[in-house]
Amino acid sequence: MDKCRKKPQKTTSKATRKTTPKAVAKRAENAATKRPVTALDGAAAERIANALEVIASRLADASPALDPAETFGAADAFVWHPDGRLAPVPRVSRVEISLLKGVDRMRDILMENTERFANGLPANNALLWGARGMGKSSLVKAVHASINIDRRPADRLKLIEIHREDIESLPGLMEGLLRSSSFRFIVFCDDLSFDGNDASYKSLKAVLEGGIEGRPDNVILYATSNRRHLLAREMIENERSTAINPGEAVEEKVSLSDRFGLWLGFHRCSQDEYLAMVKGYCDHYGIKIADGELEREALEWSTTRGSRSGRVAWQYTQELAGRLGVRLSGN
């Protein structure tokens, strides 16, 4: 009886089909040879598109890097990314240097330092520190633009912004791209400061003055900060109170600011300086309002903000221009 029993037939149901990659590929090949392909369904088209994107990405990765000379010739300002990219900035957000009021001394010093550097003469790294909203970063960008006004393309000064959180990649930027270039560069870090156990300041110290090679001759570093020593006061006091040798511990941290040869302090502006800023903006952009009304509104605006600064003056100017229907061209 058992010998006569028929062997069970193999089924080809979906439940018993092999699902190994080789089996799936074989079935797809057989199906393609049995029926003509007349159209692609949505899923197939999407798979093909994804495959083409992967191929294009790999080809882009394999392509040779751009010539640094060609890259730097594309713009006067760039933003540095820690993955090795320099993103050109065709239009820098800045204000005219003539509109920066109450910072005449700092403006003249920074302009002279920058012009010497642009002409190939010795110049200092600069730390612009002090009250917030007083035009520290605006001054750096305005000075850079002023220096380049009458320069030939080959002699134009390049501005490269590096974000605070990317400071550790600064040595790679210096050695990988800038040192060998024929252009001259301002590397600019806005709102630079260090907190807690952040040790990335050591990378900045090495770039500014340390190392065997030192800072490239064609690079200068400008930084802005609300803190004179780039560190919070409580951070310095904590070092004094907890370190075995308080003097050495504090010296290690505050020595970073000493690497900047030029310190420019920005302090809160007076009422007259604040009003001069507002009037300067209104004259520049053609905003018509009676002087008495302008002063009253501008002072009320600063009172509600709790401070007087260039930033507050600009914010009031934007509010006034919007209310009066005046467009701020170039903003």
Task: Give me the residues paired with residue 130 across strands.
Answer: 266
Reading the block at residue 300, the tokens are: 């009320």
Task: Name residue, tokens 């540095």.
Answer: 80
Ramachandran angles phi, psi of 52, nearest 5°: -65, -35
What does the pLDDT read at residue 21?
54
Is residue 46 a contact partner of residue 128, using CB atoms and an 8 Å limit?
no
The pTM is what?
Answer: 0.71
Cα three-residue angle 240-242-245, rounded to 5 degrees: 65
pLDDT of residue 252: 58
- Are 167 and 194 in contact by the 8 Å Cβ rule? The answer is no
- Report how far residue 260's alpha carbon sits from residue 230's, in angstroms, rounded to the nearest whole number: 11
Given the structure tokens 């780039």, which residue do they identify?
Answer: 230
How far apart, in whole angstroms, are the C-alpha atoms of residue 269 and residue 308?
A: 6
H or E stretch at 235: helix 233-242
From CA 56, how far away is CA 62, in angstroms rounded? 10
* CB-count exposure of residue 302 (10 Å: 0-12, 13-18, 19+): buried
Nearest CA among 273, 274, 284 for reference residue 316: 274
Which sign does the torsion angle of CA 68, 70, 71, 75 carry?
A: positive
Residue 110 · residue 116 · CB < 8 Å: no
Backbone dihedral angles phi then psi of residue 323, each to the nearest 5 degrees? -65, -35
- 120: three-class secondary structure by DSSP: coil
Q: What is the pLDDT of residue 63?
A: 37
CB 266 within 8 A of CB 103: yes
The total of other beta-carbon atoms located within 10 Å of residue 226's CB is 17
Per-residue pLDDT of the chain (331 residues; tens, 9 = 90+): 454 455 555 444 444 455 555 565 566 556 555 545 445 566 666 667 776 666 655 544 543 444 555 678 889 999 999 888 899 998 999 989 999 988 999 999 999 999 999 999 999 999 999 888 899 999 999 999 999 998 999 899 999 999 988 988 888 888 888 988 999 999 999 988 776 566 666 777 777 765 666 788 999 999 998 877 666 555 545 554 554 445 555 565 566 777 888 999 998 899 999 999 999 999 999 999 999 999 999 999 999 999 899 999 999 999 999 999 999 875 5
Instruction: Name the residue type at position 74.
Output: A
Asked whether the beta carbons of 103 and 135 are under 8 A apart, the reply is: yes
Residues in the chain: 331
